[in-house]
Amino acid sequence: MINEEKKQILFKIPDMLKIIGILGGTLGLLVVILSTIAYIPKHPEFSILTTYLSDIGDTDGWPQIIFNSGTLIAAPIRYLIIVLLALRLFELGAGRAFVFTTLLIGFISTFGTILMTATPFSVAPGIHKMGIGLYFLGVVCLQLIIFIREWTLKSIPRLLPILSISMVIIFLVFAILMILYGRGIVNRNIPVIWEWMCFLSSIIWVFAHSIILGDK
C-alpha cells in the first residue's frame, strides 16, 4: 500500500514540475516586463545596454514595487522548481547525495535572492551585496552540479546540460565584469548586457527543464 502511494506521488512529479516551472518562468518574465514598462516613462533613455535590472528595482515608485514584490513572490516558487527538478532527476537516476546537495545550495541561493531584494542597495549596501554574493555563488554552484549530473544521465537530452553550463559561463562572465568595474578597469555599461543575459538564460533554463522533463 505504501509503495503504491509512493509510486503515485512520483508519478505526479513530472506534471508538477511542468506546471509550476511554466508558472514560475512566466511570472519571472512578467515581473521584469511590467517593472520595465513602469520604469520607462521617467527614464526614456532605458536600454538593456545601459540599464541594470537592479536600477529598475532601486527606482522609487511602481518600478521598485513591481520588481521587488514580484521577485520576492517568485523566489519561493523558484525553490519549489529546484525541489521538483531534483526529485525528477532522482527518478531518472540521480543519487540521494545529488538531491541533498541541490536542495541545500538552492536554498542558499534563494535566501540570497530574498536578502538582496528585501534590502535595496540604497537602503543597506552591505546586506544587499551579501545577498548578491549568495545568489550568484549559489546559482553557479547549483548549475555546475546539475550540468555534471545531467551529462552523465543518458536519458537526459543534451540540450539541458548545455543550458546549465551556459548559465554557469554567463553568470561567471557577469561577475568578473562587475569585479573589473568595481576596480575601475571597465566602465559601468560593459557588464549591463550580461546581467540581462543572466536573467534570460535563467528563464530559458526553467522553461526548457520544466517542459522537457515534464514530458518524459
Please report the pLDDT score of residue 176 as a whole number.
95
Please report the pLDDT score of residue 216 as a whole number.
63
Please report the pLDDT score of residue 1 as a whole number.
44
Please report the pLDDT score of residue 58 as a whole number.
84
Cell of 33: 516586463
Please report the pLDDT score of residue 123 as a whole number.
76
**pLDDT reading at 64 higher than 60:** yes
Q: What is the pLDDT of residues 35-57, one digit of tens each?
A: 999 999 999 999 999 999 989 98
Please report the pLDDT score of residue 11 as a whole number.
55
Domain map (residue ranges) of the chain:
6-215
In whole angstroms, give the CA distance from residue 39 to residue 82: 30
What average pLDDT is seen over the chain? 91
Question: Long-range contact list for 101-109, CB < 8 A, 24+ apart?
Answer: 101/145, 102/142, 102/145, 102/146, 105/138, 105/141, 105/142, 105/145, 106/79, 106/82, 106/138, 106/142, 107/79, 108/134, 108/137, 108/138, 109/134, 109/135, 109/137, 109/138, 109/139, 109/142
Please report the pLDDT score of residue 6 as a whole number.
46
In the predicted model, what is the mean pLDDT of residues 21-44?
96
In whole angstroms, give the CA distance from residue 48 to residue 207: 22
Q: When comparing pLDDT for 5 and 13, which is higher?
A: 13
In whole angstroms, give the CA distance from residue 82 to residue 108: 12
Q: What is the pLDDT of residues 122-174, one digit of tens each?
A: 777 788 889 888 999 999 999 999 999 999 998 999 999 999 999 999 999 99
Please report the pLDDT score of residue 5 as a whole number.
47
